[in-house]
Structure 1
Amino acid sequence: MSDTPLLPAGVGMSRLRVYPWQTRDHLHGGSPHMHLTCTECYAVLGGRGELHTLTADGLSRVPLAAGDAVWFTPGTIHRAVNVEDLNVQVIMENDGLPEAGDAVMTFPPEHLADPEAYAAAASLGDGLPAERQDRARARRDLAVQGFERLVADVEHGSGELLQEFYRTAAALVAGRLDTWEASWRAKALAAAEATGEQIAALRRGDVSHLGRARVARIGAPEQDTLGMCGFLAVYPRERALDGRGEGGASPRSA
């Protein structure tokens, strides 16, 4: 594992098949949510859909079609809407942080009151796949309910509910910040610092890092994780093989 290079710039990567399930407002798609420290990019592989985003500037609906790329910064509440078989390659800043909880869904306030209340609303629990999918749909519907409340306040009210959501989200993740910082230092920051070291080496005429070149490959993972927006296929570095398809570490449990 120590010899496996990071993905470019220490990003995370996954494929997303946006949920086809109908929502309470007669759309189809996933759970509105927000990242607190990660910029996210959707590179559309196929199908059609929309990305609905909410910021202090209001609600935006961005069309999505094959070949499009759209990205959004921390604090952007976003919702993937599936019009026709929407499939997306997700590129996520700061590999490891989303998996460590850098996302908060837009549940109504009573479900954001404390980490225990949030975890109860967010958990899919155990059970058969169909049972977990039912809970994923219920979780999505709860997030859409809260999202509609935030949209109405931004567009027709003071916008204070959005600011309160930001404050509440920050409080929910406060206990995870040490873990996030350690992951960021080990991955994204390490990747940036490595570039600085390579530039400095080249200035000295030192090309030794070029002799340590490596190639890594991750085979196509199963697209079966129930994510916030759809069925996910995550590309964990722990599954990486060298360029010949040899070596690598044991798969991380889902």
Structure 2
Amino acid sequence: MSALPGGVSVSHLRVYDWPAPDGVGRAGSGSPHLHVASSEAYVVLGGSGSVHTIGPAGFSVHPLTPGTIVSFGPGVVHRAVNDGDLEVLVLMSNAGLPEAGDAVLTFPSAVLADPAAYREAATLPTPASGASDDEIAAAARRRRDLALEGYAELGAAVDRLGPAALRPWHDAAARLVRMLVPHWQDVWTRSVYAQTQATASALEGLIRGVAPHLAGGSVTATAAAAPPRRYGMCGRLQTWPTSP
């Protein structure tokens, strides 16, 4: 079961302060990407910036200041833009899926068309492989810059063709994750679906005036993962386990 209600995962994000090749963001930018199955929400804790999205409504810029909440569903390409010390609490549906490949970066179309090339470009070295933090950071920045190349390609296509230009990118994303889906189905069944079924059962009992589920109430306390933060798509992440 998820550590948070409804199969939600949570992480604390410090958006990258690396200057972007296209000059967007006074302080830096994250890596544009989309999710194929999960929804995401930004709850802004501090700093300033914006999230740029490309979806069925076209291109949009959503300002981010403390207290702002912006959410976006599967298929919406999003890019976190840092204008200064941007920190965000990130909520994701389907805990376990985003961590298992649900996010697809907007690499150039030639890379998206080749699963092996995509995996090579998307995978970062790890401390376990002997990589230093500086080496991991450099690889994350190269990955970000490659995603921005594809993002510029996608933006130009949307300018020409409108939101219909997203269709080939969505199709490529679906092909890339297809082999992962059986594992996702297992994760989702044991977390989100199980919680949904438990709620359905509770409601059926309550409508009859009985509540046996209340006797099984529990409390779970979960600590954040210890530093150092890992390099995510949009910035440095502090994460919480998705299961107690």
* Structure 2 partner of 1:138: 142
Q: Which moved more, 1:37-46 or 1:207-216?
A: 207-216
Give the C-alpha shift of residue 159 in structure 1: 5.1
Deviation of 1:210 (Å): 1.1
Q: Does the residue aligned with 1:31 lie in a helix, a strand or coil? A: coil
Q: Against the structure 1 CA distance between its residues 202 and 159, is the aligned structure 2 distance closer, same or farther, given a 3 Å change threshold?
A: closer
Partner residue, 1:194? 198
Matches within 5 A, 1:215-226: 215-221=219-225, 222=227, 224-226=229-231
1:20-59 correspondence to structure 2 within 5 Å: 20-27=17-24, 28-59=28-59
Match of 2:9 among 8, 12, 19: 12
Q: Which residue number in structure 2 is paired with residue 214 of structure 1?
A: 218
What's the secondary structure of 1:157's corresponding residue? helix
| CA offsets 1:189-221 (integer angstroms, 9 cap, x no match) | 111111111111222332221121111111233
CA distance in 1, matches of 2:151, 2:34: 11
Q: CA RMSD in A?
A: 1.5
**DSSP-derived class of the 1:66 partner:** coil
* Residues 32-181 of structure 1: pairs in structure 2 closer than 5 A: 32-126=32-126, 127-157=131-161, 161-181=165-185
Which has the higher mean CA deviation after the structures are superposed, 179-188 or 200-209?
Answer: 200-209
- 1:85 partner SS: strand
Amino acid at match of 1:218: T
Contact (CA 8 Å) 1:5, 1:216: kept in 2 or not? no
Helix, strand or coil at the partner of 1:34 = strand
CA distance in 1 between counterparts of 2:162 and 2:46 reads 38
TM-score computed with the length of structure 1 as normaliser? 0.88
The gaps in structure 1 that reach 5 residues or longer are 241-254
3-state DSSP class of the match of 2:37?
Answer: coil
Q: Deviations over 1:43-85 (max 9, x none)?
A: 1111111000011332101000101101001110000001111
CA distance in 2, matches of 1:53, 1:213: 40
Paired residue for 1:250? Answer: none
Q: Contact 1:15–1:223 at 8 Å: present in 2 too?
A: no
Preserved contact between residue 6 and residue 187 of structure 1 (Cα < 8 Å): no
Contact 2:3 2:241 in 1 (8 A): no
- Write the distance in 2 (CA, Å) between the matches of 1:18 and 1:217: 27
Aligned length: 236
Q: Is the 8 A contact 2:2 2:95 kept in 1?
A: no
What percentage of residue pairs aligned between the two structures are identical? 43
Residue-by-residue CA offset, 1:11-63 (whole Å, 9 max, x unaligned): 11111111111111112111000001111000111111100001133210100
Q: Is the 8 A contact 2:58 2:162 kept in 1?
A: no
Q: Distance in 2 between matches of 1:34 and 1:207?
A: 41
Between the aligned partners of 1:35 and 1:142, the Cα distance in structure 2 is 18
Query: What CA distance in whole angstroms lies between the structure 2 residues aligned with 1:115 and 1:11?
Result: 29
- 1:163 Cα deviation after fit: 1.3
What letter corresponds to residue 235 of structure 1 in structure 2? Answer: W
Structure 1 distance, partners of 2:193, 2:114, is 31
Give how far 1:148 is off. 0.9
Q: Aligned pair in 2 of structure 1 residues 237, 124: CA closer, same or farther (>3 Å)?
A: closer
